[in-house]
């Protein structure tokens, strides 16, 4: 809200999503429900947040049939779940944001100025908010709020989703490490 350029960029992307939603309606394509919502209690502490993130990442990889394999294009994977996903020009301290609005449904924006590995992490981090924090109309991920428990939970989800422990162990085992 304090950065007029960021506010304008988010509004621009929301307008694109709104147009997409209207186009779906005109073409008779039903609105997508999106991924399941994982209803969890608010994390009580850091370990609780990490445990919740890890649990949901495991369940979501299983639901999507991903096994322990490397992930494809994350924006496409997220879009296939009925969530608008895009890169946007955001302030450097903002890695991404999740939006939930009745006119567009669910949307994720990540900072296009960040390096590709960071953007991959941010896409999955914001996807975690779509899965676990959908009741909020917006969740902004910044440097200043990274110790908030829902941010810790989303970070744990992203790490476990991108690099599941079983996949790491299998990789090491096959290399006799």
Task: Read off the pLDDT of residues 91-131 as tens digits, 9 standing for 90 and up.
Answer: 999 999 999 988 888 999 999 999 999 999 999 999 999 99
The confidence score (pLDDT) of residue 165 equals 72
Closest CA to 128 of 63, 38, 45, 17: 38
Report the alpha-carbon distance of residue 106 to residue 100 in Å, rounded.
Answer: 5
Query: Which residues of the chain register pLDDT less than 70?
Result: 1, 30-33, 167-171
Compute the radius of gyration of the chain from its Cα atoms.
17
Predicted local distance difference test score (pLDDT) of residue 44: 96
Do the strands 94-101 and 138-142 form a parallel or antiparallel pair, or are they unpaired?
antiparallel
How many whole angstroms from its chain centre is CA 116? 15
Gap between the terminal Cα atoms of the chain: 49
- In this predicted structure, what is the pLDDT of residue 132? 96
Exposure string (b/e) for 128-165, b if CB count within 10 Å is 16 or more?
bbbbbbbeeeebbbbeeeeeebbbbbbbbbbbbbbebe
Characterize 112-123 residue by residue with b for buried, 16 or more Cβ atoms within 10 angstroms of its Cβ, and e for exposed: eebeeeebbbbb
SS3 13: helix
Which residue's entry shows tokens 């428990």? 149
Give the pLDDT confidence score for residue 105 in this predicted structure.
Answer: 86
| pTM score, whole prediction | 0.87
């Amino acid at each position: 809200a304090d950065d007029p350029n960021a506010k304008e960029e988010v509004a621009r992307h929301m307008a694109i999503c709104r147009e997409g939603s209207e186009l779906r309606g005109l073409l008779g394509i039903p609105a997508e429900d999106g991924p399941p919502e994982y209803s969890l209690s608010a994390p009580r502490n850091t370990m609780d947040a990490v445990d919740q993130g890890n649990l949901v990442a495991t369940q979501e990889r299983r639901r999507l049939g991903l096994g322990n394999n490397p992930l494809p294009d994350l924006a496409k994977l997220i879009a296939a779940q009925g969530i608008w996903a895009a890169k946007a020009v955001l302030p450097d301290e903002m890695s991404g944001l999740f939006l939930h609005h009745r006119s567009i449904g669910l949307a994720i924006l990540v900072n296009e100025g960040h390096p590709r590995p960071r953007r991959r992490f941010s896409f999955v981090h914001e996807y975690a908010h779509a899965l676990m924090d959908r009741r909020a109309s917006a969740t902004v991920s910044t440097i200043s709020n990274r110790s908030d428990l829902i941010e810790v939970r989303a970070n744990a989800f992203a790490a476990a989703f991108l690099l599941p422990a079983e996949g790491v162990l299998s990789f090491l085992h096959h290399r006799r490490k």
